[in-house]
Structure 1
Amino acid sequence: MATSGGQIPWVFSQVKGTIEEEVAEADIISTVEFNHDGEYLATGDKGGRVVIFQRGGLPVKPSVGVPPVFRCDYNVYSTFQSHEPEFDYLKSLEIEEKINKIRWIKKTGMSLFLLTTNDKTIKLWKIMERYPMYSGFNLRDDEGRPLDNTEVVRLKVPKVNTDKLTTEATPRRLYANAHTYHINSISVNSDDCTFLSADDLRINLWHLETTDQSFNIVDIKPANMEELTEVITAAEFHPINCNEFVYSSSKGSIRLCDMRAKALCDEHAKIFDEPEDPSNRSFFSEIIASISDVKFSHSGRYMLSRDYLTVKVWDINMESKPVETYPVHEHLRSRLCSLYENDSIFDKFECGWNGTDSDVITGSYNNFFRIFDRDNKHQFCYEASRDMAQLGQILHHKIVTSETNRRRRNEVCVDNLDYNRKILHAVWHPGDNILAIAATNNLYLFHEQQHHTQHS
């Protein structure tokens, strides 16, 4: 429910993670993803681990005339090590275990399936529930090991245990040796049979059942690498049309490709690019124009792209310019030189849609994240902070100001922004107003404040 002006009253729900001052590099969350119905939430970290959370509790049955209250508590469902550090002996290259992306496969049975990838290898995981059904055997112990005959002194009746549920994660497929460069994207097709994987220069098409063969559908590698002018930064399938996909580049363009045209999609069907204003050109223009993320809307009509300073909404029927542009942290434009020196200008922020495509979300520095209301053209800035210890605490809109003398509690001086505290990964529940925000090693969950109507 939105308040006046279109603002949704967000409240703090949960935070997962440790509170240590010194955060281990392996514990930093590197990707966050809801499954298709939002009942499960997966996170991957730089240590190669995947944690799956399940939405807990039972829905509250509303009284007559009172809006329903939805569940927003997520509890750990399964944890497993997805990738280990490797070493490429042919290239004398270390391959990090960091999880770059997680993508869910639509659930069709009792088990869960998801794809995880590091820089080189994609894995398909099956997560299934298992009960330790029987115990108290006569000729073997509960682990299945045979007992010595001298240990069998009396006859026992085996017991059935149904109270202890465990989850088991099993790697079902391993898709490897297809990428020379680091994988930055994976996307599952709407046909639920194929998926794509993209690195800096190539995009490959895989079948979920085939691990030893993939088809190269985009290759932008020049014959002479000195002529290289751009790289692929993100790629995604269309949510409805299984023959279409898009990929973004470091030059700020988005290309829509149709696999029906020909097998190798080097010639795009459409290119979405906004010419730069010559008056704004600077040394940093190409760096800040690089698109770090691109997402189709649920309807498939629009695309959302994130570059360093802005979020843009594109209509797939209009290539010349975006239909909407939202500044994320315009106050940093005058500080690009210092951001370049500390490498912050190369941070890759993600973006996302809400379930109805009416709002978009993305992250910023100082653990700020921004929500843009497309209908009312309003934007809101909130902070994910451990200081919000009280469950149900309402989030207050933050204002970044250039004034050094801060007068109001919700104002933050631009000089005091902490660039080490940044939100690169922020996702919206596909159905409900629930946000999952990854801030360093912590996962924050926020939900819409529920209003109960008073009746006489």
Structure 2
Amino acid sequence: MEPPPPSPALEWKFSQVFGERTAGEEVQEVDIISAIEFDKSGDHLATGDRGGRVVLFERTDVKDHGSRREQEKSDYPIRHPEFRYKTEFQSHEPEFDYLKSLEIEEKINKIRWCQTANGALFLLSTNDKTIKYWKVQEKKVKRVSEVNVDPSQGNGSMGSPSTSNSRGHLPNGGCLERPSGYLSNDFSFPPGGFPSLRLPVVASQETSLAARCRRIYAHAHDYHINSISNNSDGETFISADDLRINLWNLEISNQSFNIVDVKPANMEDLTEVITSAEFHPTHCNTLAYSSSKGSIRLIDLRQSALCDNHSKLFEEHEAPGSRSFFTEIIASISDIKFGKDGRHILSRDYMTLKLWDINMDSGPVATFQVHEYLRPRLCDLYENDSIFDKFECCLSGDGQRVATGSYSNLFRVFGCAAGSTEATTLEASKNPMRRQVQTPSRPARSLTSLTRVVRRGGAESPGLDANGNSYDFSTKLLHLAWHPTENSIACAAANSLYMYYA
């Protein structure tokens, strides 16, 4: 039986932008987006920035027209996902480690959504050292109304006789004189009593969103946290730094278990570090982590308490004679993601995307060239530190496509089904049919301020790729996320959030 033919290439279109810059507008370093994540339903999106702030967006096209299942049954056409600003909160503040004389940035490194409960949203966010567990919930603001006292005659109410007016207005339009000597703080009825006594009614006037930090997981990492990942059991998560991976219980913040430790007895013997780690989407005992040498290790928590020995190792051996000064640098994996089916792992190194089958450790099943045209300029990239940029990657919910970012705010989408030749390049900024969504104004800073990020090491350095197209190392699209159920991509260009759909 022949495999089904690959699906046709998708036609990507611009959908929305939040916080788009105007020409020449200054960007605040703290506003640059550093993390982005959809929740499992795809109805909520979270971004974190270098200023320690988390901004939440919610989907509106489904909420306005019923559930997706109802849309499929009805004649109403299903539109592409549309989001709107929901709320924001300050997750992390800058700190100072007095023992190590070290400043700890407030920058959000990763955000991960947890299971929702009772209409509340839960998520984890982390900077270099501290992980926080947040609960975001709607709270109703209540007001007392419908009392006997006419508010135009005073500011009192029957609920507080000491401040009530001396003339109590009755429901039938008449009024009742208080007898002389009637004390305002006396709860006794006046002579004759009230013909009708209307009790105060508590009415819900409006709702407001409140974010509350439920737990803080701190003091467990000597090095910078590069990854956090939720377990499918809904109870535990991992956090990874350069040399260790710790396992936490969501309910216990003062204790974690070290499950991976690659620190050598002598630090001079250190040859590789952990760069990314993620739990398997359905097997709560399995996780994978990548290294700076370009390898991915699969570990099984059932084998031993300290998982120093991997159950599977995935790496691609270099061709003989191809080794150079830059070989190890560009081989370092900056991000790994499990496919939704748990069968495949996607990895991103500096030059390529690789798709791995966890049942085949002889090599990747597919390799996608992202930066091959930059190979002649590796020396320049090393001089201006761009070679150390950490690009993220993502997979579509159906596992048919993969995506990652590049320079000049470009992102690339590849078809990974057997026989597919799909390879699309889009720029997250240029679209004549754009429809800008303004984010509500903020007291401190705004997502609407954006300009180019000047790279470390000096001024911008535009150049030409192999096709004669210009590219710019100063603008880079590092963070992006694929909607879990639909062909929609959210990507961050500096402090603007762009949404595309197909």
TM bin (shorter chain): 0.7 to 0.9
Change beyond 3 A, Cα 1:403–1:172: closer
Amino acid at match of 1:125: W
Correspondence 1:198 to 2:240: yes
Quote the residue 2:383 is aligned against.
341
Secondary structure at the aligned position of 1:98 is classed as coil
The correspondence of residues 77-88 of structure 1 with structure 2, limited to 5 A, is 77-88=86-97
Structure 2 segments unaligned to the other structure (5+ residues):
1-5, 148-158, 169-197, 437-463
The correspondence of residues 261-280 of structure 1 with structure 2, limited to 5 A, is 261-280=303-322
Correspondence 1:417 to 2:454: no
Quote the residue 1:17 is aligned against.
19
Cα offsets for 1:340-361 (capped at 9, x unmatched): 1111100000001101011011
Would the aligned equivalents of 1:56 and 1:71 in 2 still touch at CA under 8 Å?
A: no
Q: For the residues of structure 2 that align with 1:63 and 1:311, how far apart are their CA atoms?
A: 35
Would the aligned equivalents of 1:55 and 1:71 in 2 still touch at CA under 8 Å?
A: no
The correspondence of residues 56-455 of structure 1 with structure 2, limited to 5 A, is 56-57=60-61, 58-59=64-65, 68-135=77-144, 152-153=164-165, 160-375=202-417, 376-385=420-429, 387-391=431-435, 401-402=465-466, 404=468, 413=469, 416-448=470-502
Q: For the residues of structure 2 that align with 1:213 and 1:73, how far apart are their CA atoms?
A: 40
Query: 1:390: Cα distance to partner?
Result: 2.8
Change beyond 3 A, Cα 1:66–1:224: same
Q: For the residues of structure 2 that align with 1:100 and 1:344, how far apart are their CA atoms?
A: 19
Amino acid at match of 2:29: E
Judge which range, 168-177 or 14-23, deviates more: 14-23
Q: For the residues of structure 2 that align with 1:333 and 1:320, how far apart are their CA atoms?
A: 26
Q: For the residues of structure 2 that align with 1:64 and 1:302, how far apart are their CA atoms?
A: 33
Change beyond 3 A, Cα 1:115–1:403: closer
TM-score, length-scaled by structure 1: 0.87
Change beyond 3 A, Cα 1:26–1:214: same
Cα offsets for 1:391-445 (capped at 9, x unmatched): 49xxxxxxx85355xxxxxxxx2xx311111111111100011110111000001
Structure 1 segments unaligned to the other structure (5+ residues):
139-146, 393-399, 405-412, 449-456
RMSD in angstroms over aligned alpha carbons?
2.4
Query: 1:319: Cα distance to partner?
Result: 1.1
Amino acid at match of 1:228: L
Secondary structure at the aligned position of 2:55 is classed as strand
Q: Rg: which structure is higher?
A: 2
Query: 1:164: Cα distance to partner?
Result: 2.4
Q: For the residues of structure 2 that align with 1:312 and 1:321, how far apart are their CA atoms?
A: 9
Query: 1:159: Cα distance to partner?
Result: 5.8
Q: For the residues of structure 1 that align with 2:74 and 2:207, how far apart are their CA atoms?
A: 38
Considering Cα pairs closer than 8 Å and 6+ residues apart, tell me whether 1 or 2 has the greater RCO. 2
Would the aligned equivalents of 1:12 and 1:388 in 2 still touch at CA under 8 Å?
A: no
Would the aligned equivalents of 1:131 and 1:161 in 2 still touch at CA under 8 Å?
A: no
Change beyond 3 A, Cα 1:227–1:432: same
Query: 1:165: Cα distance to partner?
Result: 2.1
Q: For the residues of structure 1 that align with 2:395 and 2:383, how far apart are their CA atoms?
A: 32
Change beyond 3 A, Cα 1:118–1:308: same
Q: For the residues of structure 2 that align with 1:258 and 1:166, how far apart are their CA atoms?
A: 44
Change beyond 3 A, Cα 1:332–1:107: same
Judge which range, 155-164 or 213-222, deviates more: 155-164
Would the aligned equivalents of 2:374 and 2:465 in 1 still touch at CA under 8 Å?
A: no
Amino acid at match of 1:6: P
Q: Percent identity?
A: 55
Change beyond 3 A, Cα 1:55–1:158: farther
Would the aligned equivalents of 2:114 and 2:124 in 1 still touch at CA under 8 Å?
A: yes
TM-score, length-scaled by structure 2: 0.79
Query: 1:326: Cα distance to partner?
Result: 0.4
Quote the residue 1:7 is aligned against.
9
Would the aligned equivalents of 2:395 and 2:402 in 1 still touch at CA under 8 Å?
A: yes
Query: 1:150: Cα distance to partner?
Result: 7.4
Secondary structure at the aligned position of 1:286 is classed as helix
Change beyond 3 A, Cα 1:417–1:178: same
Cα offsets for 1:109-168 (capped at 9, x unmatched): 311100000000000000001110224699xxxxxxxx9997654779756554522110
Judge which range, 94-103 or 150-159, deviates more: 150-159
Amino acid at match of 1:129: E
Change beyond 3 A, Cα 1:86–1:135: farther
Q: For the residues of structure 2 that align with 1:312 and 1:302, how far apart are their CA atoms?
A: 10
Quote the residue 1:33 is aligned against.
37
Amino acid at match of 2:21: I
